[in-house]
Amino acid sequence: MKQTKKPFILGLGGTTNPASSTEQALAIALQSAADAGAETELFGSDRLLALPHYQSDPAGLGDTGKELVELVRRADGLLIASPGYHGTVSGLVKNAIDYIEETARDERVYLDGVPIGLIVTAYGWQAVGSTLAALRSIVHSLRGWPTPLGVGINASGGIFNDGICADAGVNEQLKLAAQQVMQRAETR
């Protein structure tokens, strides 16, 4: 049945780099979701860095961890963006994903049925492919639905500056991934 409330799309990702191209790509996709009518929130580098290593103890989650778990519980869709580090998802992003374990006993277990758009940056295509495949496996194990399009970005040429992407093709793909998340989020 079609929702009357705005779908809530959570963006999760970034790196320790203050001008992170991963986070800039995520912000562009999230803006497309907002333009299409979503309520959005970006859980980016600053909050990823504030998360303690995940441990399965509510007392150990910390304020940022508790905030993340509540955002995930509310989300009708997610956009997740990771750099390719040594051919796979970065520890910073994976640590945040580990917090989703807190939802294992919820009525909606993990990300059951939730559409998830995936974005990967790397400095070579090999890591783009392997990191995207790793992220898809993670999402499947959390019962989420990776969107058909995963956005792979070779960021070695410095195409992101001040929140703007100079590559028209990449912009188009980020927009399309957001649209695919929105299509399914709106019918949940």
Question: Site residues (CB under 6 A) for ligand FMN?
Answer: 15, 17, 20-22, 83-87, 121-124, 127, 155
**Considering the complex, what minimum distance in angstroms separates the CB of residue 71 from ligand FMN?**
21
Q: Which token pair is 89? A: 């998802």
**Considering the complex, what minimum distance in angstroms separates the CB of residue 119 from ligand FMN?**
10
**Residue 114 or 135 having the CB closest to ligand FMN:** 135
**Residue 28 or 36 having the CB closest to ligand FMN:** 28
Q: How far apart are CA 57 and CA 67, in angstroms?
A: 15
**Residue 53 or 86 having the CB closest to ligand FMN:** 86
**Considering the complex, what minimum distance in angstroms separates the CB of residue 110 from ligand FMN?**
26
Cβ(122)–Cβ(150) under 8 Å?
no
**Considering the complex, what minimum distance in angstroms separates the CB of residue 20 from ligand FMN?**
3
Task: Characterize the bridge pairing of strands 160-161 and 8-13.
Answer: unpaired
Select from 123, 124, 116, 183 the least CA-distant residue to 150.
116
Q: In degrees, to the nearest 5, what angle opens at C-alpha 58 toward C-alphas 51 and 9? A: 55
**Residue 41 or 129 having the CB closest to ligand FMN:** 129
